Structure 1
Amino acid sequence: MESVRVLSRRTVKPPSWCARELIPLTSWDVSMLAAEYIQKGLLFPAPPFPIFPDLIDHLEASLTDTLATYYPVAGRFITEQHRDDKEEEIVVGCSVSIDCDGQGVEIVRAVADGVAISDVIPPSSPNPGGLLQRFFPLDGAVNHDGHHVPLFVVQVTELLRDGAVFLGFAYNHALSDGTAFWDFINAWAHIARARINPHESGPPPLVVLKRWSADGGEPGPVVLRGYADASELIERMSPPPLREKMLHFSAETLAALKEKARQELVAAGDIQGAAAVTRFQALSSLLWRSITRARRLHTTTSTTVCRAAINNRGRLVPPLPKEYFGNTIYAISTSPPVRASELLDRGLGWAAAAVGRAVANHTDADIRSRVEAWTAKPVVYTLRFFDPNGTMMGSSPRFDMYGCDFGWGKPIAARSGRANKFDGKTSLYPGREGGGSIDAELVLEPQHMANLEHDQEFLFWATNTTSFRPQDSQ
């Protein structure tokens, strides 16, 4: 019988000479305080050395070195009250900062009895996370909990049937977005490889820790006016029962999907849209349309939109460096909302162009307008903010997940826990074979997933892949 047992825990701290400072969270960071920790993980083949103590010691030593640069990861959050200038007893608001005092991160060692690689990466699951969820620490933690629990914990789980290893990361999303998170993991992996093979060594990772400010000046605390403590904004919510399916789209399939969208746009006379269409837009369009049908929205008067998480770094003027450490993402949306029946009638190309316009309209001016609006009325994101008729594209196939070689080989698979999942959420990953392939982790309510499995357009593209045919394991 499958069981996962935690055997030990270690606290890992940055070197004592690291900077001790307070780093104020931006509006982008604070808005994440009610969301759950990022739960992403990598499955590796069996290492050529013992899990304990050799592997754990290896990961601990290299993580210590990595925290010398990424020392905020080893901190905790701290909330400070702000008082009226004239009447000190009146609290006008609060702000949250990273207290970089070297409190530490954790490495958890665990074993999974009776578990092998094939058990970890089935193509579908009636319970998002499933067995995998037991490979992730801090289950159910929201980012505000970073006031009293580590901002980063990794669980090293040995699959006892074949010796494979799963590294399950729990990472505070108010600390940074996925771009900076995967930069951190890759930096740790690079340092780990260099400890085994000196030829892999190089300069320390480059990271920009100074937070962004709208006026370009010295970043200061973002005051949540009207709140004595940030905890007043936190709402913990649980999603309904969900099902999850991992899909693989080869580079060839994505190219064909893009070409279909392009041809439809040319036929409709939208030459500009046809020239600008991308594989991401075509894939988003396919999933948006398929999920809308699976929900049977086209039989109602409901409207729908497609949302996608987008990186602000290169869209700001001046742009933020790609090494910027923090959150700088927004969820963009197709606009205006379209009736579900109209979305399906207009075709793949029209939907792809709608996604493309949403991307193109996300400019420096749009970003700054959103920051200004948020500052006037701060909010934190919870499941309540997600439209039950819309779809959401998260994560990114640009993240270098399969470059994370800690010294005993590249990952076999990238997976996630159950955190931050809801009906209509799709997380995109790079395909392991590279070359522009994409893996899509799709989450739906059970009846919606059952309907999707009979959707002809979806089945045509999801099963015409070169290396993976999604099949329900139930």
Structure 2
Amino acid sequence: MVHLISKCMVKASPPPKLPADQKCHLATWDLAMLSCNYIQKGHLFANLPATLSIDNIIHNLKTSLSVALHHFYPVAGRFATQHELDSAGKVTGMAVFIDCNNEGVEFVHAEAKSISVGDVLAASSDVPDFIKSFFQLDGAINYDGHSFPLLAVQLTVLADGIFLGCSFNHAAADGTSLWNFMNTWAEISRTNTVVPSRPPVHDRYFIDGVKPPLKLPFSHESQLMDRFSPPPLREKMFHFTSEAIAKLKAKANEESGTNNISSYQSISALIWRCISRARGLPEDRLTTCRVSIQNRARLQPSLSPNYFGNSINVLCMTATAGELLGNGIGWAACRIHEAVVSHRDDAIRGTVRNWMEVPVFYKLSLVDESTVAISSSPRFDMYGCEFGWGKAVALRSGSANKLDGKVMYYPGWEGGGSVDLEVCLLPKFMTALESDPEFNQVVSPGAPLQVHLS
């Protein structure tokens, strides 16, 4: 259904002036991501101006991308590994860094003229499987950035719109950095500026006097790599209006006797409970809610919001299925809230020190069938990426980092605090979730994004 038209490499222009070694060292948060997949996120655009040709769109995207890469120059590089040898020449350690060599990022032009914008939105249905073909580097893990580009862009021309899919190396940057890059690229495309309003901060953060490069205690990359293939999953978008979220938040706070539980914590508690119920876990089965949390504002002193790289940890809340479902939404939300509040500067530094002693890598194969893994954030300005063709009508992701129990946050199209969740479950569990009474009291029926096509 998707046909390749052309492929090329886009480099930073003008090339950035860098030190002779051109190295961008990786911090612990970056290295921990080496075995995960790339981040795959894409925008669906409809109602394009009739005067705007595809050739003009492609030219503008490539030109503005080249300027964006001048400012985000590590993205145009490749990973490199330096091995540490003992006196006998045996490898005793390795250090991975970005060689900022301006080798470039990949840009692909493709066509899928048999697919419409409505097909992509798939109102009231699962996310169509063909969306996976709107992204490059399917199945790649971040360590593959040694030979693969750290960013691959695919513009797919549909029957009545376009889809801009980006595969971004997660060991080079987290979601905060990705969306700063995407919005900077869109800003350059839309305004023809050469000076972004939010220039990135490239100095990687190493705590407590730790000096790069960080050496990993491995003799071969196979010791840290993990290539995970999930079983067949159902993937579906669920919409939560701001009014429904406000009611859920009020209920969680009332049950907890507090006013401190956030909307995010309330929704995460709801999805933890409902997926656990859908799985039919025994009462004594331990279930885990894993939530990605960013560190920038929690460190003392805080990192710049424009810090480019990873600065995230994963919080793990556990409870037996009996505890989780035998108590109300407030109990689960309170568990998440307490973990978030405890994630302060001292806790963050402690996790880094522990990682330095025993490096641990995020591996999808280690996530068991009783876990709910929540990532991304509704605070990311995803719909702010306007390239000059108007606002996107929807956001979708590729196959990367998908597993049973994966949940990803998106801001709702209409704004105002609305939220979309992309949920991935085994088919039998998705069917049970769709009929869950607690879940259906909050989620909106159908796919309201269809209204934005008119």
Contact 1:224 1:230 in 2 (8 A): no
Q: Distance in 2 between matches of 1:466 and 1:141?
A: 31
Greater mean alpha carbon deviation, residues 146-155 or residues 257-266:
257-266
Which residue of the partner structure matches residue 418 of structure 1?
Answer: 399
Q: Distance in 2 between matches of 1:457 and 1:70?
A: 44
Please show how residues 232-381 of structure 1 align to structure 2 within 5 Å.
232-266=223-257, 274-297=258-281, 299-334=282-317, 337-381=318-362
Aligned match for 1:75, one of 56, 74, 77: 77
Which residue of the partner structure matches residue 190 of structure 2?
Answer: 193
Distance 1:144 1:123, change over 3 A: farther
Percent of pairs with identical residues:
44
Give the deviation of 1:216 after TM superposition.
4.9
Which residue of the partner structure matches residue 4 of structure 2?
Answer: 6
Q: Please say if 1:213 is aligned against 2:206.
A: yes
Distance 1:448 1:382, change over 3 A: same
Which residue of the partner structure matches residue 158 of structure 2?
Answer: 159
Q: What root-mean-square deviation, in Å, do the aligned CA atoms of Structure 1 and Structure 2 show?
A: 1.9
SS in 2 for 1:275: coil
Greater mean alpha carbon deviation, residues 347-356 or residues 373-382:
373-382
Which residue of the partner structure matches residue 111 of structure 2?
Answer: 111
Q: Distance in 2 between matches of 1:377 and 1:43?
A: 42
Which residue of the partner structure matches residue 175 of structure 1?
Answer: 172
Q: Distance in 1 between matches of 2:380 and 2:71?
A: 20
Which residue of the partner structure matches residue 388 of structure 1?
Answer: 369
Q: Distance in 1 between matches of 2:124 and 2:38?
A: 23
Which residue of the partner structure matches residue 36 of structure 1?
Answer: 37
Give the deviation of 1:90 after TM superposition.
3.4
Contact 1:136 1:155 in 2 (8 A): yes
**Which amino acid is the alignment partner of residue 45 of structure 1?**
A
Contact 1:95 1:230 in 2 (8 A): no
Q: Distance in 2 between matches of 1:391 and 1:124?
A: 23
Give a deviation string over 1:254-283, Cα, whole Å, max 9, x none: 0000111122223xxxxxxx2211111111
Give a deviation string over 1:188-232, Cα, whole Å, max 9, x none: 00000012xx7xx76554110010011256x4111001x123343
**Which amino acid is the alignment partner of residue 156 of structure 1?**
L
Q: Distance in 1 between matches of 2:265 and 2:114?
A: 41
Please show how residues 12-23 of structure 1 align to structure 2 within 5 Å.
12-20=10-18, 21-23=22-24
**Which amino acid is the alignment partner of residue 359 of structure 2?**
P
Give the deviation of 1:107 after TM superposition.
1.1
Q: Distance in 1 between matches of 2:348 and 2:367?
A: 20
Greater mean alpha carbon deviation, residues 172-181 or residues 302-311:
302-311
Contact 1:248 1:468 in 2 (8 A): no
Which residue of the partner structure matches residue 269 of structure 1?
Answer: none
Give a deviation string over 1:122-165, Cα, whole Å, max 9, x none: 24666x661111110111111111100111011001102x2x11
Q: Distance in 2 between matches of 1:390 and 1:436?
A: 27
Give the deviation of 1:303 after TM superposition.
1.3
Instruction: List alignment gaps of at least 5 residues for structure 2.
Output: none
Which residue of the partner structure matches residue 63 of structure 1?
Answer: 65
SS in 2 for 1:108: strand
Distance 1:253 1:467, change over 3 A: farther
Q: Distance in 2 between matches of 1:281 and 1:61?
A: 41
Distance 1:148 1:10, change over 3 A: same
Q: Distance in 2 between matches of 1:82 and 1:123?
A: 54
Q: Distance in 2 between matches of 1:187 and 1:362?
A: 30
Q: Distance in 1 between matches of 2:290 and 2:372?
A: 6
Please show how residues 218-233 of structure 1 align to structure 2 within 5 Å.
219-225=211-217, 227-233=218-224
* Structure 1 runs of 4+ with >3 Å offset: 49-52, 123-126, 201-205, 463-469
Contact 2:124 2:446 in 1 (8 A): no
SS in 2 for 1:419: coil
SS in 2 for 1:95: strand
Q: Distance in 2 between matches of 1:181 and 1:466?
A: 26
**Which amino acid is the alignment partner of residue 75 of structure 2?**
V
Q: Distance in 1 between matches of 2:88 and 2:300?
A: 39
Which residue of the partner structure matches residue 437 of structure 1?
Answer: 418
Give the deviation of 1:464 after TM superposition.
6.9
**Which amino acid is the alignment partner of residue 296 of structure 2?**
R
Give a deviation string over 1:339-368, Cα, whole Å, max 9, x none: 101211111111111110010111111111
Distance 1:467 1:203, change over 3 A: closer
Instruction: List alignment gaps of at least 5 residues for structure 1.
Output: 267-273, 470-474
Distance 1:250 1:39, change over 3 A: same
SS in 1 for 2:2: strand
**Which amino acid is the alignment partner of residue 438 of structure 1?**
V
Contact 1:244 1:443 in 2 (8 A): yes
TM norm structure 1: 0.90
Give the deviation of 1:41 after TM superposition.
0.1
**Which amino acid is the alignment partner of residue 100 of structure 2?**
C
SS in 1 for 2:422: strand
Distance 1:234 1:129, change over 3 A: farther
Which residue of the partner structure matches residue 437 of structure 2?
Answer: 456
Which residue of the partner structure matches residue 271 of structure 1?
Answer: none
Contact 1:133 1:418 in 2 (8 A): yes
TM norm structure 2: 0.94
Which residue of the partner structure matches residue 97 of structure 1?
Answer: 97
The alignment covers a number of residue pairs equal to: 446
Q: Distance in 2 between matches of 1:37 and 1:125?
A: 26
Give a deviation string over 1:354-390, Cα, whole Å, max 9, x none: 1100101111111111111111111221112323212
